[in-house]
Amino acid sequence: MSRTASADVLVVGAGLAGLHTATLLARRGHDVLLADRRRRLDGAIRTTGIFVRKTLDDFALPPECLGPPIRRVVLYPPGLRRPVTLDSDRDEYRVGDMGPLYLAAAREAADAGVRLALGTRYAGRAGGASLLTGPDGATRVRARFVVGADGARSAVARDLGLDRNTALLVGAEEVSAVGPGEGPPTFHCVLDPSLAPGYLAWVVDDGRHAHVGVAGYASRYPDGMRAALRRFAASAPGLRGAARSGEVERRGGPIPVGGLLRRISCPDGLLVGDAAGAVSPLTAGGLDPCLRLSRHAADVLDDALRTSRPEGLRHHDGAALRRQFRGRLLLRGGLAQVRTPAMATAAFALLRTPPGRAAARRVLFGDRSFPDPHPDPAVA
């Protein structure tokens, strides 16, 4: 016999999207249950944690959980010869210390009144209730709305009959502590389809941590993703082998790059974050989109709860926002076509020209972010 529970909103998944949505709703007085299958939120991390300037400007992230600002990006062709260095006169990126950052977000959620159930898996829906299995067994949760914040392969999306991600990259990285380097904090990106087919290999060294990673289309890694990461780590630019010390943390996971999904809500609930495909198809950045879309979701849910009008959830409309992704989807299509090191080398020649550098600066240092359903952050 399973137990029963109730809530105004059940949020499945306590990544950044779920934590943010749950906290905003609880602050408005709603009863929110947030369930995650992970037992600890500072384990099994799936992101490098690079936050872009616009996110840092618009959202209050705890400064003690952010690494030093990064202003330099170095782009490399296959073979690593004659890289292109781009320096910004502004702080462009900061890498989150993601374990402490998730824990701080969970404390904020609990302070707002969110009931957090860890080690608790969403197992499906039956008779209008959601089934959770946790340390104390099975529970049937009756919630007015369900939020799928359960990542790229969302089971909530499946059960609500909403759209699901089909275009996915997979990425993996190793993180280790480093001391301050001689040069400035730097983000190194390598365009080489034999290491990162359809995306990039990277080293981010901010003087506190070094992240070395690869991401690409799963079926196109010549000898598998792990082998690609091993090969890259053996000769990666900017990786100060001797300076890396202590434990190596391994991270990885899928990255949706098909653009925001069209159907991301129905009268029973909605999707946020990776579950909604809210990731830039070009840069594969998902942290800014998941915060912005969560803010919008919380507004829509708040309104529907207050007015008892579930049809209001239709304002959480992926099709409308998706139109603003056209350019980025086209560029993703272009990057996906770079299938051989020779093609990457040829494409890289364009990057060395003044218009190529200007375009790279626009992508890497531009002010664009995920299309904000809230142009005015004060609304939130």
Query: What distance in Å separates the CA atoms of residue 252 and residue 199, rounded to the nearest whole number?
Result: 15
- Residue whose CB is less far from ligand FAD, 18 or 78: 18
Q: How far is the CB of 76 from ligand FAD (least distance, A)?
A: 18
Q: Is 12 in the site for ligand FAD (CB under 6 A)?
A: yes
Exactly one of 22, 50, 300, 321 binds ligand FAD (CB under 6 A); that residue is 50
Q: Is 296 in the site for ligand FAD (CB under 6 A)?
A: no
Are 36 and 120 a contacting pair, CB within 8 Å? Answer: yes
Query: What distance in Å separates the CA atoms of residue 153 and residue 273, rounded to the nearest whole number?
Result: 11
Q: Is 49 in the site for ligand FAD (CB under 6 A)?
A: yes
| DSSP conformational letter for 377 | G
Query: What distance in Å separates the CA atoms of residue 98 and residue 43, rounded to the nearest whole number?
Result: 9
N residues, the chain = 380
Q: Is 174 in the site for ligand FAD (CB under 6 A)?
A: no
Query: What distance in Å separates the CA atoms of residue 340 and residue 209, rounded to the nearest whole number?
Result: 31
- Residue whose CB is less far from ligand FAD, 297 or 338: 297
For residue 321, the one-letter residue type is L
Q: Is 258 in the site for ligand FAD (CB under 6 A)?
A: no
Exactly one of 77, 216, 238, 253 binds ligand FAD (CB under 6 A); that residue is 253
Q: Is 75 in the site for ligand FAD (CB under 6 A)?
A: no
Looking only at the bridges linking them, the beta strands covering 209-216 and 168-177 are antiparallel
Q: Is 15 in the site for ligand FAD (CB under 6 A)?
A: yes
- Residue whose CB is less far from ligand FAD, 77 or 213: 213
Q: Could you tell me the two tokens for 195?
A: 């290491």
Exactly one of 27, 28, 38, 357 binds ligand FAD (CB under 6 A); that residue is 38
**CA-wise closest residue to 43 among 100, 96, 106:** 100
Exactly one of 46, 53, 125, 316 binds ligand FAD (CB under 6 A); that residue is 46
Are 234 and 110 a contacting pair, CB within 8 Å? Answer: no
Q: CA-based angle 73:352:217, to the nearest 5?
A: 65
237 CB-near residues (< 8 Å, 6+ apart): 74, 76, 80, 83, 188, 190, 203
- Residue whose CB is less far from ligand FAD, 356 or 371: 371
Q: How far is the CB of 130 from ligand FAD (least distance, A)?
A: 10
Q: How far is the CB of 212 from ligand FAD (least distance, A)?
A: 11
Exactly one of 290, 298, 313, 321 binds ligand FAD (CB under 6 A); that residue is 290
Are 271 and 13 a contacting pair, CB within 8 Å? Answer: no
Q: Is 273 in the site for ligand FAD (CB under 6 A)?
A: yes
Looking only at the bridges linking them, the beta strands covering 72-76 and 186-190 are parallel
Residues of the shown chain interacting with ligand FAD in the complex, contacts defined by CB under 6 A: 12-18, 35-38, 46-50, 121-122, 149-151, 155, 171, 173, 213, 251-253, 255, 273-274, 279, 285-288, 290
